[in-house]
Amino acid sequence: SMKKEQNQNLELKATLKTLEHERASLILSLEEKEFRLKKLQERDDAHQDEITKLNSALQQAEKMLAEHKQEVQEFISQMESLKQMMVQKEATLIAHGEQLTQDLEVSHANEQHAKDTIQKLEAEVSQLRLSLCSTESRAEALASECQRVCSVHWEAQAQLIKLHSVLHYMLCNSPEPKLRGQGDKNILSTSFLNREQDNMKELAFSQPKDCSTELTAERVAEALQDLRQDLWRAHIQLVTYFLIYECDIILWVASRHFKGNIINFL
- Spatial contact of 247 and 162, defined as CB atoms under 8 Å apart: no
> What confidence category does residue 143 fall into, taking pLDDT thresholds of 50, 70 and 90?
confident
Looking at residues 30-34, what average pLDDT do you find?
90
The values of phi and psi at residue 155, to 5°, are: -65, -40
Query: Using an 8 Å Cβ cutoff, are 187 and 180 in contact?
Result: yes
End-to-end CA distance of the chain: 163
Mean pLDDT value of segment 184-203: 42
pLDDT in tens, 225-257: 776 777 777 767 766 766 666 666 666 666 665
Dump pLDDT digits (tens) for 99-118: 999 999 998 999 999 899 98
Q: Which residue has the higher pLDDT, 73 or 175?
A: 73
State the DSSP code for 186.
Answer: G
CA distance 129 to 255: 8
List, as own/partner pairs, every contact residues 24-27 make where C-beta atoms lie below 8 angstroms and the sequence separation is at least 24, other chains included: none
pLDDT at 244: 67
- The packing angle between helices 2-173 and 190-199, to 10°, is 100
